[in-house]
Amino acid sequence: MISISEAISAVKNQRKPLTVKCIKPVEKAGGYLLFEDIKSPINMPPFRQSAMDGYALNLHDKISYKLIGEIKAGDAVRLKLNPGEAVRIFTGAAVPDSANAVMMQEKVQNHGETIDIQHQIDLELNIRPLGEQVKTGDIALKKGTKLTPAAIGYLLSLGITEVSVYKKPNIALVTTGNELVEPGLALTHGKIYESNSRMLLSALYNLKFYDITLYKVEDDYAQTVSALNSAINDNDLILITGGISVGDYDFVGKALSELHVEELFYKVKQKPGKPLFYGKKEDTQIFALPGNPAAALSCFYVYVYIALQNLMGRNDTELPRAQATSTSVFKKRGDRPQFLKAIYQNETVEILEGQNSSMLQTFALSNALVHMPGEVSEINEGDTVEVIILPQ
């Protein structure tokens, strides 16, 4: 049995980012990393652009200007202004080449056919220059940039509709157990509804991973071997829930051994999630998570999250951590470090009741995990604790 820090290091050390290129429509590329530099096909803005609702001016040495027209955003009109002439103009509209300033409307006195301005006017005031954001041929976004909603909007504003990105991993979710019944079906005596696969599927979707295949395996050795062999051959990351303990009908460990999966660690000194397996076969990484739902989800956030970031080549591989002041009292039994479901806000954290590894009700309310070290037996109100902030 290894420590939490040793287990985290073991996962971090398996850093082999996927290097496969794929083409995605820009609006569906959120969360992906750019495979190559993106050069701008246009200047942005593509013309001198008004930053204000107001008046575009050809400056002269008097306060009065003659109004000769109007330009709205999207108008293709090209007016020529002589010194002392002005046009009404709106935010985003193309500024005439002959205008050299835009005065905001609040500082202008409008007399119908003329306007008066009694404020100092600087050259190019309130005019966005051609190519202010980026010029044609310049790098708009560099290789490896994560495509956030802002990046998506930026690329679309340049007229770019497709991008080359690093392929995200193919992921297999394998659930085991004869006791599991699909939600929506009748629940007979001795059965429970299967929730782990959909829970982990939701967690993966929340992190923008979508290439996922579900495998349902009965407690049968030959079927377990066959399903895991298929999953390993077709995927980059395998997440197995259940069947990794040492019961008479827990076949996962034996099946992985028969398939020559290299064990990197099995069992971590922690609660929940002690029976956690991590291994690999060639370039495919395999996690066998505990069957208890809260334990499976805790291990997902602490360990699987790192593997996912590694596969994407990201530098920040762990979830963010923070120091917080406890508003609760919690006493621990035994010497295993614990991950406690909690609510974190305003630099304080409330440790919730119901920390059993089979209970999801408390996890459903949580937005954080408190890491309680093994040597700490009690957390009191006012104590400073380490908090892992969960994705929302």
Which pair of tokens denotes residue 301? 């956030």
Q: What percent of the chain has pLDDT over 90?
A: 85
Query: Per-residue pLDDT tens for 238-295?
Result: 999 986 766 555 789 999 999 999 999 999 999 999 999 999 999 999 999 998 899 9
Q: Write out the H or E segment, with its range, that includes residue 262.
A: strand 262-266
332 or 195: which leads in pLDDT: 332
Which pair of tokens denotes residue 21? 């290129």
For residue 154, the SS3 value is helix
What pTM did the predictor assign? 0.82
- The per-residue pLDDT for 95 is 98
Residue 56 clears pLDDT 70, i.e. is over it: yes
Residue 387 clears pLDDT 60, i.e. is over it: yes
Mean per-residue pLDDT, 196-215: 94
Mean of pLDDT over the chain: 94
Which residues are CB-neighbours of 311 under 8 A, at least 6 positions away?
A: 16, 17, 18, 168, 169, 236, 237, 285
Residue 160 clears pLDDT 70, i.e. is over it: yes
- The per-residue pLDDT for 378 is 97
Which residues are CB-neighbours of 106 under 8 A, at least 6 positions away?
A: none
Do the Cβ atoms of 148 and 208 come closer than 8 Å?
A: no
Query: Per-residue pLDDT tens for 356-371?
Result: 888 899 999 999 999 9
